[in-house]
Structure 1
């Protein structure tokens, strides 16, 4: 195995225009990222001097949220730099996978990053390339990486004339004009842009060609639509919009200091840090598993770390803790790796000792080769970072994944058999989970249950409830009666008491006077609604499900009503065209209304127009021809989403509406559902009896399994905590079936398909995995509706 500067190079992680990045291991066993410079650049004395100065300056940065530069040799034949190895997704990957951050989460991120920037500035440096891909979210918090272009003012003479340093959309205007010496304010600008991206899911200066983004940075204004106001913010301030708007000021002197940003963010934090919450922690664990597997499979090395020498912990380097024994760590003992369960509500079922583990079955398999996952990560410490100044680091999934079809594992070595904590007859009621509460909507009205115990909290005994949106303080309830009357009622989440209601829409003061007359045309017989922090939108329409419904409905237009989510006060009214509404979506200060004039045209490619309204006043911003097929793809929306429509699976960039990949569905897959967003680089599709994992970037099949499918026709698989859930056959039963599996529910490793957990429930109608909301104590539960009975289980350990 190749050695460089005392580091064994375990694997090549990535290569770019300036060099390569390797996963390395020190003699002590510590993992590092070793960055090497290309030979043609190393031959340039000026480049070597710049490399030497930057490495020396970066080694002086010391902060809890910065990746440390550990060692460097600019004089080597192949100059190299060793940095702390940070495990986790980049901020780009986390936001793409989980969506924009809520206010309290954003504040925690902002405070950590401001502290990191303060550490950079304290060393006399300016980072100058702060961006989402240079932030790695680890279990210890967000880590700022890549000091390859950070400089002191004394080093500016070594910068090529006319060179623009930074990334479009995050570069301060003064770096583009070269006006004056770049100071700490350029990092404040980048921080403001980065936090705006994390809060909205879109860059504040848009996307597109580089010159267009740079032009908007210089001459346009930042897109801050959708930012939350902060209750209790200083007088005259609206919170995030004011803070980030000032960070993005054209003039450096108009921006706040890093300390001021840190103070504001620290005051707005709520609850546990964002990176400690389950959704983010699951992504981090996935990256940790990949690093452990990569090292375990590396040639001429082993996953086992060296024995920790006796003596006290080196307090000078808190990021490199010693290995602890299994007992000191709480134990990676046998019962955590397939032995007897420690909890009374689960049973681990083991196959014969001779059973071979499925390929890539996860961290426990890696651990058996020489060290436990936890021991490995305690020793290896930190991890996989995104792009760097001397070459982007590729995700380990792309390095270790396989193209082409994989039949997936058939006989996992062990799985956990779930036992119900409680059950309840619910008939045809629909369960919805939020925080510690489980809501049932059915013929008896709305019932709130304690998710952990099944105890009834309150009942709202009304008929005609068609949809609910639960929140931390209010539960929004939509009712549509047989009298062409639709209304929203807001209930107190704790007590079930009505707080406000929209009332009879015919008397809505925002409707035009001609529509408030007694003889005015009524609203349609159906309704949909959406809820955000800024708006509750109710849309009424005529159902076009059948020709009879269309004729008797009189081809009524759809109508949209906006209400204040806190008080229910009417805000605006908008009347659309004569069509059925088939989708509603709010994002980025807009609300998209997808319509269809003929439900039988679902197989066509063009679809109906998508109307995009402004959340602020309900005015029509634009109409996208043929856009109704992808209701989430509209101005203000960002990210990537997958669809199963028109006989194809598609991955669509929501900002550009561009199809990233598309694949035809076979005749057996016509009822397929697909997870809308990627988790750990994969999306999953399910039919009545088949589950597949697809590469999110290419659409290629990674693995495919029979005997596990979708809870409902065209339903999407349920993915949570690195596991994918669906109805399956008895684990010891036959491998294939001619019909939909009806034994119970399976939880499979989302990355490999290996069986992790199973419960016998009967014919599964729905699966709800309770990750819990902010402050929830009833997380870690699986609620399965089957044959009219709701059963609740302790969820398997996330992967």
Structure 2
């Protein structure tokens, strides 16, 4: 680390910058402390270079990086804490990992023993297999992009990631990346690099860890690139044994001859079953020096970060610092991967001063964590899921926090109500079933292999109330919430994107390969499938018998829910990235360019359109409970538009809003700053337009 330079910024969003961590091809990385306080989190804040930010070709890569970090989540990938992709110089902040890079570790201690590399490789392979299961390809794996601690490796820097849902964003003829660790197909052009290229780079990284050298070296990048295209990799120093067998299989020249990441993970699991990484004394000395340098910057917080990363859980404490009482729920089904617990209800006072609500705000509460999932109201309780994987229950009338439940990983796909419970998918492959009762939440956890990024449930008359739709990687499943039994499972050509629609015995969903699919919920059989080459990431919305699918080509498509028949297509002039909402007989969509359009659900005829957002990308969309107004949020606040004509009605001037839930006389709004607000239409921050 080095001190800040005179030209460096001192603040980016909520993060005060403390020092420089390093620099890469896309920008500089700083150590930042989150402000305001509360959890006192530290972040690695990446600030994009000015020339990259001004490049029409390269700037979209940063949007892909944010989306990739957000989608990836899970163990071994630092979670996203904040970002501003639309700033003059965009930035993103991820959890700070208190350890050196693998490059620094080997440079400081020398090559690592085989048993150390095998355990590191097994952990790293699990993380990469999870990425590939979510159809994400890193494409720049190398020792400097792997952080290591005493307990696990972490993958960072997703600037060259390929998202299968957006192949056009990063597929170019440029052979970007590090040629010393690049597969031959990547050296010939980045657009050809997918999962097998990650397998090659993974093996090249293990080769460096065990020998201290990459598979290719040369006088310059041109020389190295030529060697990668024409010569076999240099594995000098890699002794005979299981590590050499795995590495050489992964370094094969032809991508189709390499094993998959799942195959590699299985091979490493056979080679070692050690839980702890057996670092040699020289490597432990590097860790100590790194921690000493961190202490000089942030004091005792450095030791806290190291303990937290090593798994010393503070989640066993209630949010007020007192110890929670946790007991097992009768009828535990451990054989189905359930872990039922009932945290005793506890008053949760704020951990930092909370500003009094302005007039027109019923209440405001801060959880001091990034919020991006829309809240949900169940009875007299507001449910809040944080970016760090914590679920809060907050009293609706007063805003008083009631309880806190640590889920262990970031939530994917939002909160889905299921009778007297809520269901959430998580980045670590868990499905959480949280039943709400007077005594507190009863929590059951169901485990899957890859990140669960969508769940769906139907409360319609005649539907099985215990059957849940689960999307995990490229697979979709049925799960019985009562028994924990796994029902049918089906593999798709692509991963499910956005939210599914589950109703009347059917599940309709969209994949990142442009397929809109309808399946029976009882046996998983396919009823119909329609290919839309430009299907976007927002998912599907159902309005009676019409399924609305926003496209990435500036159009909205409508299909018949029962037959899959194409009903209409309507241009909206921009990319729709949020799910459409129904409003009477209309469907309302917003684009990344900030336009809002209402279409006749029956025929796609435009009813009204407006661009009152001034070109800002919206982050939330919903409709007031009485159907009188459409609510659209951007980073400057929440706007209300007349449902019948799109006329501006008023706005709440609030920063960082990321999710909305309409209630009685207003909204529950959550923000990237950790604020949860119950907003009223009466006065205060609400400004009516006359």
- TM-score, length-scaled by structure 2: 0.41
Q: Quick one: higher RCO (CA 8 Å, sep 6+), 1 or 2?
A: 1
Q: Which has the larger radius of gyration?
A: 1
